[in-house]
Chains A and B, each alone.
Chain A
Amino acid sequence: MSMDDLRVTFFQECEELLEALEFGLLEINEGGGDDDTLNAVFRAVHSIKGGAGAFGLDDLVRFAHKFETTLDEVRAGRLENAPAVLKTFLRSSDILADLVRAAQEGTEVPPGPVEEVLAELETHLPTEEAAEDEEEDDFQPLGLDFDFDLGGDDDDAGPPVSGPDVWTIAFKPRRTLYERGNETVLLFRALAELGELSVTCDESALPALDAMEPGEAYLGWTARLATEAEEGDIREIFEFVEDDCDLTIALAAPEAEAEPEPTPEPVEIEPLAALEAEAPPAEPEPAAEPEPARAEAVAPKAKAEAPKATVRVELDRVERLINLVGELVINQSVLSQQVFDAGIAANSEVATTIDVFKQLTRDIQEGVMAIRAQPVKSLFQRMSRIVREASGATGKTVRLVTEGENTEVDKTVVERLSDPLTHMIRNSVDHGLESPEKREAAGKPAEGIVHLSAQHRSGRVVIEITDDGAGIDRPRVRQIAVEKGLIAEDAVLSDSEIDNLLFMPGFSTASEVSNLSGRGVGMDVVKRAIQSLGGRISIVSEPGKGSTFTISLPLTLAVLDGIVVEIGEETTVIPLTNVVETLKPTAEQLHSMGNGARVVRVRGDFVPVVDVGYELGFRDKAEGLDDKVVLLTESEGGSRSALVIDAIQDQRQVVIKGLQDNYGTVHGVAAATILGDGRIALILDVDSLVASATKTKTDPDHSLAMAG
């Protein structure tokens, strides 16, 4: 593993650690969490510090160190977990995340906030503790000569020089220790810096050369360390790896030092330590008595806390697998169709086997999709930071309540959801919630609540963002829309139509652009981002009570809900997200306009007609619509069109097959899929189809050229 790979691994782990850190802090913040939570938080910071040190990321180390020291105060019970302290910790975890990202991208973090939070951390440290802390920073392990002449130097509470303690450290790394870029040599080098070290290697598990796997950890070690250092100092060295190894650390009898055993088993440590317990205590506080118990306790604890084993796999491999499974699904349905066409009885053995095959295929598909699925937890955690920042910037007190963090969605969906969700959360805090004074005046608690939830609902994932703010100010929204020329002044709009104006391009409540939401991104961009994920977004608002935005998303981008339609001789698929409703218009509803364009009247609105078969060159222009079906679609920006098709066959999920790699961008066609009978069906790109149809109407020559 090269240094670069290690770096990549380090940052990947940092991401996980930061998540764990934030999760732990939030848990504590909400009154939950115990000592284990605190320890996990502490260890996350500590591990980041350790890794950062290895890569020479000094800023990160410096900050993490201070953070860790303050956390340790709480852990030691010297500092109370007061709300103010927790707030500092949460800010610290934000800064730590910034520093990690900056280190990863090689950029700089503005020093202002970092110093601010550092100073804030400092205020929670007792003064002498801070001083001691500095000392610890400068502390250089002294090695051999440390033992005799410098014993009492900086350890004023320590005993008179009584010679070094001898510790027996049994260490058996697991495979994961090396995979995570840790290294026995470096651990032992750190041990050697604490005192005099002698190491024996247990080679008994080493297989023959041709049978060994290079990544596996076969060797175990027993180290004897004569040192003045405390047990904590020794443990600290192994702190990053304690989940990845079997480790026992115990005080050995000093006289045993002379005769190191060749390959002592960890079991033998207990008698040794017990022996020490009987020996006259040489120190004011004999560490010996709890030792055997403690040495034993470490291993099971490490096991209990060890996370589920995971493998990191390149995304490409997963994609390839998903593609192949897509092929398999198609192949299976082709086979079923052929068996059916061959006239084989449904109760024959072949048909039964085909059924089992079908079931298996479906299971495999689900299993493969599950590889890419990940819980939205990380996404939601990022949002809690957004809320913190937004509430800080607006001076509102806001609490984010999340629900359904373990709901799993395709990784790409989770990633691409981050930006729109960030924007919506900011909006909720900035525009949705009122100021504390206004809230109290309205008889609400001063603290606003933003509720973020995720759940699976009939094959899709539904994400809701609810605030308990003032709701949408409909008169104002309407007025702005009129001012911007988005609607006519005398337009009659229902409440929900007014609410949906928020999603119109060009609508932005610009009169009060704050430095928070006023980033030139409107809700129309959010809507487009959701739509590009095959999702839908809707809004429900109640004046005085708040607003709810609901996002409904497919679980994966590899399949799509579509309407299978017939156009001429062709079968095509129209994405369901585009379709608002289907209708069979009567002759009275159809109106012709100049230059051949037609409109359909739907409940008082005139919607332009787009004859899909004609546009794509599948057939001649349909004269009447009597034998046709019309799909009312909505495109980006909310403009509606009436797509004319010949018949609707089915509504179902189809596996998306990209065409771009082979054919480039084909106008009006988004992708293709393979139907059960083995035929290829195009998936239409409604937006580009409508755009081009509208364009050809204003340019008759072009339309002729297309038709020819």
Chain B
Amino acid sequence: MPDPLTLDPELSLGGAADLAAALAARRGNDLTLDASAVEHLSAPAAQVLLAARRAWDGDGKSLAIADPSDPFRTCLDLLGLGDTLLEEQS
């Protein structure tokens, strides 16, 4: 498995574009996202993650979110996406 992609601490609107680009570049490979440093996850960034989850599922590759930080979990839960994106960890 290639190196995990470490998510930026501040995944704001601007971060969403970078994240989308970073993910697109790793398309077609199994991927682990290191979410340990995330302090804030914005809805636009969550959108990207959600789309990535679907894309990877569609490609038949694995996309894992490793070591999610508490703020990351909280933000996802607030957005109603905790179950969708973090199920592998639970």
Taking a contact as CB atoms under 8 Å apart, the answer to whether B48 and A188 are in contact is: no
Taking a contact as CB atoms under 8 Å apart, the answer to whether B55 and A209 are in contact is: yes
Q: Which of the residues B14, B19, B20, B41 comes within 8 Å of A185, measured between beta carbons?
A: B41
Contacts of A173 in B (CB 8 A): 43
Taking a contact as CB atoms under 8 Å apart, the answer to whether B81 and A201 are in contact is: yes
Residue of B20, B44, B55, B78 with highest tally of chain A CB at under 10 A: B44
Could you tell me the distance between the alpha carbons of A183 and B14 in the complex, rounded to whole angstroms?
12
Contacts of B80 in A (CB 8 A): 198-201, 221, 223
**The 4 A-B residue pairs with the shortest CB-CB distance in the complex, in nearest-first order:** A199-B80, A184-B43, A201-B80, A214-B17
Contacts of A209 in B (CB 8 A): 20, 23-24, 27, 48, 51-52, 54-55
Q: Which of the residues B50, B52, B54, B79 comes within 8 Å of A188, measured between beta carbons?
A: B79
Could you tell me the distance between the alpha carbons of A506 and B23 in the complex, rounded to whole angstroms?
68
| Minimum CB–CB distance for B56 against chain A, Å | 9
| Minimum CB–CB distance for A224 against chain B, Å | 10
List, sorted by A's number, 14 A–B pairs whose CB atoms are closer than 8 Å. A181-B13, A184-B43, A185-B78, A198-B80, A203-B84, A209-B24, A209-B51, A209-B55, A210-B55, A214-B13, A215-B13, A215-B44, A219-B43, A219-B50
Contacts of B55 in A (CB 8 A): 208-210
> A217: CB under 8 A from chain B?
yes
Known: A219-B47, A221-B79. 5 other contacts (CB 8 A): A2-B14, A181-B13, A192-B78, A198-B80, A212-B20
Taking a contact as CB atoms under 8 Å apart, the answer to whether A178 and B14 are in contact is: no
Encoded as 1 (CB less than 8 Å from any A CB) or 0, chain B from 65 to 90 comes to 00000000001011111001000000
> B16: CB under 8 A from chain A?
yes
Could you tell me the distance between the alpha carbons of A223 and B55 in the complex, rounded to whole angstroms?
27
Cβ-closest chain B residue relative to A219: B47
Cβ-closest chain A residue relative to B21: A214
Contacts of A217 in B (CB 8 A): 43-44, 47
Residue of B12, B24, B48 with highest tally of chain A CB at under 10 A: B12
| Minimum CB–CB distance for B34 against chain A, Å | 19
Could you tell me the distance between the alpha carbons of A2 and B51 in the complex, rounded to whole angstroms?
23
Could you tell me the distance between the alpha carbons of A640 and B87 in the complex, rounded to whole angstroms?
85
Q: Which of the residues A185, A192, A200, A215 comes within 8 Å of B16, measured between beta carbons?
A: A215
Could you tell me the distance between the alpha carbons of A197 and B46 in the complex, rounded to whole angstroms?
19
Taking a contact as CB atoms under 8 Å apart, the answer to whether A214 and B50 are in contact is: no
Could you tell me the distance between the alpha carbons of A698 and B12 in the complex, rounded to whole angstroms?
68
Cβ-closest chain B residue relative to A210: B24
Q: Which of the residues A178, A183, A214, A223 comes within 8 Å of B48, measured between beta carbons?
A: A214
Taking a contact as CB atoms under 8 Å apart, the answer to whether A199 and B78 are in contact is: yes
> A207: CB under 8 A from chain B?
yes
> B42: CB under 8 A from chain A?
yes
Cβ-closest chain A residue relative to B14: A1
Taking a contact as CB atoms under 8 Å apart, the answer to whether B78 and A214 are in contact is: no
Contacts of A691 in B (CB 8 A): none
> A206: CB under 8 A from chain B?
yes
Could you tell me the distance between the alpha carbons of A491 and B72 in the complex, rounded to whole angstroms?
83
Taking a contact as CB atoms under 8 Å apart, the answer to whether B13 and A185 are in contact is: no
Contacts of B20 in A (CB 8 A): 209, 212, 214
Q: Which of A507-526 contact B (CB under 8 A)?
A: none
Cβ-closest chain B residue relative to A201: B80
Could you tell me the distance between the alpha carbons of A183 and B44 in the complex, rounded to whole angstroms?
9
> A5: CB under 8 A from chain B?
yes
Could you tell me the distance between the alpha carbons of A188 and B77 in the complex, rounded to whole angstroms?
10
| Minimum CB–CB distance for A207 against chain B, Å | 7
| Minimum CB–CB distance for B22 against chain A, Å | 11
Encoded as 1 (CB less than 8 Å from any A CB) or 0, chain B from 29 to 70 comes to 000000000001111101110111011000000000000000
Q: Which residues of B contact A (CB under 8 A)?
A: 10, 12-14, 16-17, 19-20, 23-24, 27, 40-44, 46-48, 50-52, 54-55, 75, 77-81, 84
Q: Interface majority SS on A: helix, strand, loop or mixed?
A: mixed
Taking a contact as CB atoms under 8 Å apart, the answer to whether B44 and A5 are in contact is: no
Cβ-closest chain B residue relative to A260: B80
Could you tell me the distance between the alpha carbons of A184 and B81 in the complex, rounded to whole angstroms?
13
Contacts of B19 in A (CB 8 A): 214
Contacts of A206 in B (CB 8 A): 47, 50-51, 54
Cβ-closest chain A residue relative to B45: A214
| Minimum CB–CB distance for A188 against chain B, Å | 4
> A218: CB under 8 A from chain B?
yes
Q: Which of A165-188 contact B (CB under 8 A)?
A: 173, 178-179, 181, 183-185, 188
Could you tell me the distance between the alpha carbons of A192 and B78 in the complex, rounded to whole angstroms?
8
Could you tell me the distance between the alpha carbons of A131 and B12 in the complex, rounded to whole angstroms?
39
Contacts of B10 in A (CB 8 A): 2
Contacts of A178 in B (CB 8 A): 13, 42-44
Contacts of A212 in B (CB 8 A): 20, 47-48, 51
Taking a contact as CB atoms under 8 Å apart, the answer to whether A207 and B51 are in contact is: yes
> A667: CB under 8 A from chain B?
no
Taking a contact as CB atoms under 8 Å apart, the answer to whether B40 and A208 are in contact is: no
Residue of B41, B81, B84 with highest tally of chain A CB at under 10 A: B81
Could you tell me the distance between the alpha carbons of A188 and B46 in the complex, rounded to whole angstroms?
14
Could you tell me the distance between the alpha carbons of A221 and B81 in the complex, rounded to whole angstroms?
10
Cβ-closest chain B residue relative to A181: B13
Cβ-closest chain B residue relative to A6: B12
Contacts of B79 in A (CB 8 A): 184-185, 188, 199, 201, 219, 221
Cβ-closest chain B residue relative to A207: B51
Q: Which of A5-52 contact B (CB under 8 A)?
A: 5
Could you tell me the distance between the alpha carbons of A208 and B50 in the complex, rounded to whole angstroms?
10
Q: Which of A200-235 contact B (CB under 8 A)?
A: 200-201, 203, 206-210, 212, 214-219, 221, 223
Cβ-closest chain B residue relative to A202: B80
Taking a contact as CB atoms under 8 Å apart, the answer to whether B47 and A183 are in contact is: no
Taking a contact as CB atoms under 8 Å apart, the answer to whether A183 and B42 are in contact is: yes
| Minimum CB–CB distance for B38 against chain A, Å | 12
Could you tell me the distance between the alpha carbons of A203 and B55 in the complex, rounded to whole angstroms?
14
Could you tell me the distance between the alpha carbons of A221 and B51 in the complex, rounded to whole angstroms?
16
Contacts of A181 in B (CB 8 A): 13
Cβ-closest chain B residue relative to A205: B47
Could you tell me the distance between the alpha carbons of A212 and B54 in the complex, rounded to whole angstroms?
12
State whether A203 and B24 are in contact (beta carbons under 8 Å apart), knowing that A173-B43, A215-B16 are contacts in the complex.
no
